[in-house]
A and B are shown apart, each in its own frame.
Chain A
Amino acid sequence: QKEVEQDPGPLSVPEGAIVSLNCTYSNSAFQYFMWYRQYSRKGPELLMYTYSSGNKEDGRFTAQVDKSSKYISLFIRDSQPSDSATYLCAMSAGQAGTALIFGKGTTLSVSS
């Protein structure tokens, strides 16, 4: 079993839809959870950063962490064509200087 599992998709939705992206993990030591957005041929861009369990909201994006289930989610409300990208979950057990473990990424396409 891989440490981080993420469905690669692709996921296609119409503009305005609510998108749900998920990752599961096996290492109970993970405490830091991140979502990155990556456009084609570009470096990843940090979207959301969460420490331990709970929810975090930033504009149209909401990140949820359920450590008891080892499950994290990213919700995108009112999705836009510009949200079309690959979304990568990442996590780590340690503080600054600790390597991140990435999911495979989910490719999202939002049609207008």
Chain B
Amino acid sequence: GAVVSQHPSWVICKSGTSVKIECRSLDFQATTMFWYRQFPKQSLMLMATSNEGSKATYEQGVEKDKFLINHASLTLSTLTVTSAHPEDSSFYICSASEASGIESNEQFFGPGTRLTVL
């Protein structure tokens, strides 16, 4: 299957700082990338959907000014957590989808980034 990478795999930062997480599709072009957040023992919660070259679509309750998403190329999307606070500590996972064929709705997930805000 297709490979999606995330960087960094874990990060610890001080409260009030900003953190950037990268999501890359390594062997395919991702027209759409998704960002999820997962708290311990919880399911994945969709934060936003981003299409290359256009503004991201945020889910209800997700602050777009706090979670900045950029999808500048077909292989790279970034999530920046601005002015991070301890409640932003979570596991952030991206996924990528390649638009090809009527049955192609497979999403390939990155390994996740564990963010801890002190």
Interface: A100 (CB within 8 A): yes
Q: Which residues from chain A contact B107 at a C-beta distance below 8 Å? A: 34, 46, 100
Nearest B residue to A6 by beta-carbon distance?
B43
The reply to whether A96 and B112 form a contact with Cβ atoms under 8 Å apart is: no
Interface: B34 (CB within 8 A): yes
Interface: A81 (CB within 8 A): no
The reply to whether A102 and B31 form a contact with Cβ atoms under 8 Å apart is: no
CB distance from B89 to the nearest CB of A (A): 14
Q: Which residues from chain B contact A74 at a C-beta distance below 8 Å? A: none
- Choose, from A13-21, A36-44, A60-68, the stretch at the interface: A36-44
Bound-complex Cα distance A15 to B106 (A) = 30
The reply to whether B42 and A96 form a contact with Cβ atoms under 8 Å apart is: no
* Chain B contact residues, majority secondary structure: loop
CB distance from B26 to the nearest CB of A (A): 14
Q: Which residues from chain B contact A95 at a C-beta distance below 8 Å? A: 99, 102-105
B76-118 at interface with A (beta carbon < 8 Å): 91, 93, 95, 97-112, 114
Bound-complex Cα distance A6 to B43 (A) = 10
Interface: A108 (CB within 8 A): no
Chain B residues with a Cβ closer than 8 Å to the other chain, count = 33
Q: Which residues from chain B contact A42 at a C-beta distance below 8 Å? A: 111-112
The reply to whether A43 and B110 form a contact with Cβ atoms under 8 Å apart is: yes
CB distance from B97 to the nearest CB of A (A): 5
The reply to whether B105 and A98 form a contact with Cβ atoms under 8 Å apart is: yes
Nearest A residue to B107 by beta-carbon distance?
A100
Interface: A104 (CB within 8 A): yes
The reply to whether A46 and B102 form a contact with Cβ atoms under 8 Å apart is: no
CB distance from B44 to the nearest CB of A (A): 5
Given contact pairs A44-B93, A103-B43, A97 touches B31 in the complex (Cβ within 8 A): yes
Interface residues of A (CB under 8 A from B): 6, 8, 32, 34, 36, 41-46, 49, 51, 88, 92, 94-100, 102-105
**Which 8 residue pairs across A and B have the least CB separation, nearest first?**
A97-B32, A43-B109, A96-B99, A32-B105, A104-B43, A43-B111, A43-B112, A44-B109
Interface residues of B (CB under 8 A from A): 1, 4, 6, 31-32, 34, 41-44, 46, 49, 51, 91, 93, 95, 97-112, 114
